[in-house]
Structure 1
Amino acid sequence: MLSSLIFLLGLPLALVAEPPTCTPLIPVTFDNATIPRLLGHWIYITGASKYGPHLAELKELKHAVFDLFPGSHEDELNVTEIMRMNETCVTRNTSKIQVFWHNSTLVHADDQVTSMAELIQSDKDLLILKHFNNNFPGLSLSARTPNVSKERLEEFKTHLHCLGFTEDEVFFTSEKDACPLPGEKTGEGSTEPQPE
């Protein structure tokens, strides 16, 4: 009787402490509609990485937007990025994304870091990438607008938890740190993006 009582009293605590259900991340298998869906303007929201060079960049990244547009052939996308790294706005328009159709992966290469990623199935206005560099996991979330629903953010945080990331390893950007886009008038204290 006593053991049954202890079990029943402890059950609510066990249910509360139960870790979130880990549903597998499902990669997108590339087809003719995949790349057109990726084109256009994106706002980087959050990410985490166990890969040293990416982790160092995430710690400095305060805000980022990027545009994807067709490259010189169907296996390539050009990328223009505008980001605030600590207090400096930087524009990068020299990086490219290689599209590997045979294994549905993307490889982003710029002057400093090369990153391989799978596109994860999600809402059409979200861009979730599962990064893998030298077997170090990473996950990033970008969106068409800076406003991502609480439910979508919680779902993303659950994926991060399931990949072994703690809250201290997740870095969010802030819209208040946005750099002015080219041609926008800058206010006091704003810094024009500097080409890299």
Structure 2
Amino acid sequence: MLAFLVPVFILSMGMVHAHATESPTCTPLVPAEMDNATVDRLLGHWVYIMGASQYPPHVAEMKELKHATFTFFPGSHEDELNATEIMRLNETCVVRNTSKIHIFRHNSTLAHVEGQEVSMAELIHSDKDLFILKHFKDNHVGLSLSARTPEVTKEQLEEFEAQLRCHGFKLEEAFITSPKDACPAAGEEKGEGSTATAESQLG
């Protein structure tokens, strides 16, 4: 699944006090420069925040996914990453550690490979603590936002929200994760967070 990977995980939370009648300012998405520094920045832990997709199978998966995190580790080759994903699908926590991410530097594209399934996404230039992807699947487009922590600023959310509208999505078509549905770490009980999250900021 992977945040990146596909809006294949998330939870529909009825989104946002959106200004549906306002015309968003459509700033073109700029692909990230895929150099060594960018690849190194991808390593580590990420939390899937929100996303939307035109691809029906991905939408169906999103409806089941309530929370997801993923971690990238160096792979066996320079342009390959290993990925571990932890997600709650309905009431079940699932861990996947067999995914691989292939990096194509010439076009800033990442390919997520899980068994026979391959998902493609373009890495978008963003703040170093954000992970924004533009997904492609059978001529369908999707956008996803992940971050180092469950907390993102109101301005970051509004900017991403505007990009969703620019790509033809209604805000009610977007999905957002809920920190309260996070799978607890081994041996730990799930605690209540005290910091602001996308869910709380979006209403």
- For Structure 1 versus Structure 2, the TM-score category normalised by the shorter chain is 0.7 to 0.9
The structure-2 alpha-carbon separation of the partners of 1:134 and 1:179, relative to structure 1 and needing over 3 Å to count, comes to: same
Q: CA deviation at 1:184?
A: 3.1
Q: Is residue 200 of structure 2 the alignment partner of residue 186 of structure 1?
A: no
Secondary structure of the 1:58 match is helix
How many corresponding residue pairs? Answer: 172
Secondary structure of the 1:102 match is helix
Q: Is residue 92 of structure 2 the alignment partner of residue 93 of structure 1?
A: no
Secondary structure of the 2:66 match is strand
Secondary structure of the 1:91 match is strand
Q: Indicate conservation of the 8 Å contact 1:80/1:94, yes or no.
A: yes
Secondary structure of the 1:46 match is strand
Q: 2:140 aligns with which of 136, 140, 158?
A: 136
Secondary structure of the 1:20 match is coil
In the alignment, structure 1 segments of 5+ residues that lack a partner are 1-15, 188-196
TM-score normalised by L of structure 1: 0.83
Q: CA deviation at 1:185?
A: 2.2
Who is 1:193 aligned against?
none
Instruction: List aligned pairs for 1:12-161, cutoff 5 A.
Output: 17-111=21-115, 113-161=117-165
> In 1, Cα distance between the equivalents of 2:21 and 2:171?
17
Q: CA deviation at 1:17?
A: 4.5
Q: Indicate conservation of the 8 Å contact 1:53/1:113, yes or no.
A: no
Secondary structure of the 1:123 match is coil
- Code of the aligned partner of 1:148: V
TM-score normalised by L of structure 2: 0.80
Residues 98-147 of structure 1 deviation map (CA, whole Å, 9 limit, x = unaligned): 11122221000113632101111111000000001111000000000101
Choose 1 or 2 for highest CA Rg: 1
State the percentage of identical aligned residues: 67
In the alignment, structure 2 segments of 5+ residues that lack a partner are 1-19, 191-203
